[in-house]
Amino acid sequence: MTDLADKGMAIRRKVLGDAHVDRAEAAKTDFDEPFQALITDAAWGHVWARQTISLRERSMLTIALLAGLGNDHELAMHIRATANTGASEQDVMEALLHVAIYAGVPRANHAIKIARDTFAAMRGDAA
């Protein structure tokens, strides 16, 4: 591994948690290994590891972007990651209010449902 890959894997584990990363690594195949290496190096090792803004702020930005683009599966994953980044439920709502204005009410409405359900599951609330 390179220094960037090592840094990326460390921050990926810090944000997403060991259990998630272990599952992703175990599911990796020869076919998707280049993609996994790319996201570990570029997304986690280069962007998420920067010291310019906090993990909380990166988390809120990522949630807003994923919601605005309709990337629901990734959105739920990053909602769960707020347990590690320090972004609160109120922080997430603020990000999603921005989504409503800048990316559209339907996208925000759907993202709010995903966030609500994901936070409830994280708390162990009955569905």
| Residue for token pair 């999603």 | 96
**First-residue to last-residue Cα distance in the chain:** 42
Class (C level, CATH) for 53-127: mainly alpha
pTM score, whole prediction:
0.92
Q: How far are the Cα atoms of 31, 64, 97, 102, 117 from residue 16, in angstroms, in the given order?
A: 23, 17, 24, 27, 18
Q: How many CB atoms lie within 10 A of CB 44?
A: 23
Q: Residue 104: what are its φ and ψ, rounded to 5°? A: 120, 140
Confidence of residue 127 (pLDDT cuts 50, 70, 90): low
Write down the pLDDT at residue 6.
95
Confidence of residue 1 (pLDDT cuts 50, 70, 90): low
> Could you tell me the residue ranges of all domains in the chain?
1-52, 53-127
